[in-house]
Amino acid sequence: MVLLIDSILTAQKNCKDVVSVSEVNDPRRLIGLDSLGIGHSQYCFVNVFINAVKSSAVIFNKYYFVLTGTQIMQDILDNIAATMSARTDRGEVASYIPQLACVDPNQFGITVALPDGRIFSAGCANELFSIQSISKVFTLTLALGKLGDAVWKRVGREPSGDPFNSIVQLEHESGKPRNPFINAGAITIVDTIMMGHQPKETLAEILQFVRFIANDDSIGIDENVARSELSTGDRNASLAHFMASFGHFQNPVDQVLGTYFHHCSISMSCQQLAKAGLFLVSDGTNASTGERVVSEQRARRINSLMLMCGHYDGSGEFAFRVGLPGKSGVGGGILAIAPSKASIAVWSPGLDKIGNSKLGTEALEMLAKQTGWSVFGQ
């Protein structure tokens, strides 16, 4: 620790930035070494601190999280938003759902939510969008709460390697979906949580849960998107009927599909979505509200599934580039989790060829590089 203090103060002295809080116009750019538990009363500029410790990945990652309370995190997000705004290749919106085809692709938003309740945003972070398949994280959480490990008798835990709406593996594996995040798996999860209840009751339960974890009662379902999905959902209907032919469903197929289409039509902003993911950051507890959502072990398992399966046949590429558990949706949103550090929501409607947000992925790659938050190290 003595070497660390010497390194910081030497860097401070060399750039002639030895100052006190009262001598600087913007105190958000200062960090007190005593506030980091280093045991020294000297203040220094944030950029000086980072330059002094960045050669040590262990020290950098330990203290960088504390620094996110300063202006530096906002600067990072502003820079990412500006970079994305300048991009000309923004991908293509999901045209196979008519209501999503109407969304302006020239939008980008990002929010980072910290366990202590602080929120950082840039771009269109308050704009509502259809979270689509990101909702599968929340329905899986509900199913695990109801059935525990019995859920895995209905769906697997392996990457599919196929498009999200593929029927190929179902035929080879007797109607059991490979994981809960592909469409067939998520439809099966809906069947497990319905338990004989009507779609309205199940949807009310799902919506209540999402509002609870986001601490926001204004979250709702976009009925226009739901109707649009119902009118174009033939592929999903074929998946459901195919699985039902193996005797796997416990509820009427049409009711399961209606519930599925509606929960995919939940509308949220980046800020709401990032807050909803906080329970996966802090071992199952939403640290900003103090509420226990799932057990520590279950939170780890959900994160692992997000890392392996959250981007369908693009999950490996996302892990390679970003290195965080994440779940995408064809509405252009991505929820990413930096365990013990932050919940991140990003939205840009244009999709890549696989069906994941093109600029959202690029933005998360930039964020992971600048923060060192990848689960695989800096």
Active site members: 133, 136, 260, 312, 330
Calculate the CA dihedral of residues 185, 186, 188, 192 and round it to 10 degrees: 130
CA angle 370, 371, 377 (to 5 degrees): 105
- Residue 234: both structure tokens together: 């033939």
What is the Cα Rg of the chain in Å? Answer: 22
What one-character DSSP code corresponds to residue 18? -
Amino acid at 360: G
Q: State in Å, rounded, how far the first CA of the chain is from the last one.
A: 21
What one-character DSSP code corresponds to residue 44? E
The span from the CA of 188 to the CA of 142, in Å, is 13
DSSP symbols for 45-92:
EHHHHHHHHTT-HHHHHHHHHHHTTSHHHHHHHHHHHHHHHT-S---B
Calculate the CA dihedral of residues 354, 356, 362, 365 and round it to 10 degrees: -100
DSSP symbols for 260-312:
HHHHTTEEE-HHHHHHHTGGGTTTTEETTTTEE-S-HHHHHHHHHHHHHHTTG
What one-character DSSP code corresponds to residue 115? T
